[in-house]
Amino acid sequence: MKKAKGQNLVVGAGVLALAGLVAKVLSAVYRVPFQNLVGNTGFYVYQQVYPIYGIGMVFALSGWPVFVSKLIAEQSDDPLNQQLIARRMFWLLLGISAGLFALIYGGAPVLAILMGNDRQLIGVIQAVAWMFWFMPFLTVGRGFAQGRQDMLPTAISQVIEQIVRVAVILIAAYWAMNHDWSMYRMGAWTTFSATIAGLAATITLTASLRSVWQDPLPKALGKRPEFAWSRLFKRLLDEGGLLAMIAALLVLLQLMDSFSVKVLLEQSGLTATLAEATKGVYDRGQPMVQLGMVVATGLGTSLLPVLRQHILREDEDAFRADFQMTMRLSVLFSVITTVGLIVIMPTLNQMLFGSMQGSKALSWYSLTIIPATLITVLVATLQSLNRTRGLGWMITATILLKIGLNALLVPGWQIDGASVATLIALLPLTIFTIVRIPRFVWSNWRPSRWYAKLASISIMVGSLAGFCRYYGSLVLGSSRIASIEVTLLAVVVGTGAFIGGLVWTQILSADEWKALPKGDRIYERLMKRK
């Protein structure tokens, strides 16, 4: 029975990681055809309000559901206790959702003023506010199932939600362009897609939600001190709020950009129309970073749930080994991805978005992949160790630092400054999370000459991919068709250089090869050739 249970946990973690990977790819990729349909100004309108949706999505997907699942798992031996907690969390979250809806819908005029005094954004902001009514259903439905070690409802609802949202966004954008809608009317419909997607995801969680209310509960059960409304509410704000803030960190930084970048661009001398278009160019970096983090964070997501099992079994050696392997793989993939993106950025930018405008700013923005990936892995490790003290303050400091750096850098460097501000703002939090990991976990975390091997692979990938991008552009020209050919050539050559570098430097151990998708087969072939 224990073996079967362990297998279910591993399979469940894999299913959840795969669903998260699919959802992230969908969430990043749709922005390319969307921007091509609506242009920089339309993209600006959508991206100004997107962080509000992003925060709500993180709360309902990877913030509060994790907290609810923890509460449910604490009562693993008593289904009635689980149902009581889930019901009370539902009503508490419904109250929070009502407050958030009132704040965003009623405060839309104020938010529009803060977002560059663009009052046409009021309807777009109000359209996204409706999604918060589905947050209790999504949080409790997912959290209740996860707490019972059933990851499938969360995985299915996550993918369905993204598919429906992306479909509505692209249909609305296409319709708007062919029926002379204003960019703001289009923006309202594309942001309302979150509400339609929330409804679709809730429907897929019907069975899980029904389980929450399936049994009558004795009145005495609700009078137990550990189930008191005040106690649960305090835990929701303290523990659940921290999980939500950590999960929403990058989106919160994007929200700070929505409040400040357009205003600061106008202060630097740009007209309002040009500032909106320039902010739209800057927003191209977000899907690139999301795609750049897919491999590294997907890898970390699939490996890190195992760490908690090691803690519960008090297996210090296994914990250290898995953490160190996860860190090495995450650093390797985030660094190589960043190098690859930077050297092919001009042609990649033109291939995806139709121009090379803002390529320098997007290259700076790509550098955030490295600290963002490390923070994701390190924070998850700290959570497994219950060493999260101080994280809330550091996240708050990161947000405040981002605001201050924007004010300092954007007037002079424009969107280059906004990208650099995001990068610098993440560094103190990265250092803090590294220091908070216990020393024994770091002991001998990298083999001899590991950094030298990483540098060698990075130089190989950067040099060969950059050579293809530079000389390919000289030979094939600067048209969009040429940029597609050059980018694909650079990606193929860069990928080949990466694989060749892995084999040449032997930077990966046998266990690390086997941790990668199809890595065991690749490793066996490499061993046979030797």
Q: Mean pLDDT across the stretch 447-468?
A: 95
Q: How many whole angstroms separate alpha carbon 183 and alpha carbon 353?
A: 18
pLDDT of residue 71: 83
Distance of alpha carbon 424 from its chain centroid, rounded?
A: 19
- Res. 298 pLDDT band, cuts 50 70 90: low
Q: How far is CA 122 from the centre of its chain?
A: 26
Q: How far apart are CA 127 and CA 99, in angstroms?
A: 16
- The pLDDT value given to residue 433: 94
**What is the model's pLDDT at position 8?**
44
Question: How does residue 6 score in pLDDT terms, banded at 50, 70 and 90?
Answer: very low
Q: Kind and range of the H or E element at 387?
A: none
Read off the pLDDT of residues 270-289 as tens digits, 9 standing for 90 and up.
998 999 899 989 999 888 88
* Block residue for tokens 């409790």: 140
- Stretch 279-307: mean pLDDT, rounded? 72
Write 483-492 long-range contacts (CB < 8 A, 24+).
483/347, 483/348, 483/350, 483/351, 484/351, 486/347, 487/344, 487/347, 487/348, 487/351, 490/343, 490/344, 490/347, 490/465, 490/466, 491/340, 491/344, 491/465
pLDDT of residue 3: 42
| Contact present, 367 and 338 (Cβ < 8 Å) | yes
Q: pLDDT tens digits, residue range 310-323?
A: 776 778 888 888 88
- Only one residue has tokens 């994790």, namely 66
Question: Taking the CA of residue 377 as centre, how many other CA atoms within 13 Å lie in the half-sphere pointing to its CB?
Answer: 29
Higher per-residue pLDDT: 194 or 510? 194
Each residue's pLDDT tens digit, 74-131: 776 788 888 888 999 999 999 999 999 999 999 999 999 998 888 999 999 999 999 9
Most confidently predicted of 140-144, 384-388, 458-462: 458-462
pLDDT of residue 297: 57
| Average pLDDT over every residue of 499-505 | 92
* Integer Cα distance of 273 and 157 in angstroms: 39
Q: What is the pLDDT of residue 7?
A: 42
Model confidence at 32: pLDDT above 80: yes
Question: Which among 296, 316, 295 has a CA at the least distance from the CA of 307?
Answer: 316
More confident site: 52 or 25: 52
**What is the rounded distance in angstroms from the CA atom of residue 77 to the CA atom of residue 492?**
52
Dist. CA 253–CA 55, nearest whole Å: 11
pLDDT of residue 10: 46
Q: What is the pLDDT of residues 175-230, one digit of tens each?
A: 999 998 999 999 999 999 999 999 999 999 999 899 988 878 777 776 787 778 88
- For residue 249, what are the contacts with CB-CB under 8 A and spacing of at least 6? 372, 375, 395, 398, 429
Q: What is the pLDDT of residues 401-456, one digit of tens each?
A: 999 999 999 999 999 999 999 999 999 999 999 999 999 899 888 888 999 999 99
Structure confidence by residue, pLDDT tens digits, 230-251: 888 888 888 778 777 877 888 8
How many other C-beta atoms are found inside a 10 Å radius of the C-beta of residue 350?
22
9 vs 493, residue with greater confidence: 493
The pLDDT of residue 369 is 93
Q: What is the pLDDT of residue 190?
A: 92
Residues 6+ apart with CB under 8 A from 436: 378, 382, 387, 390
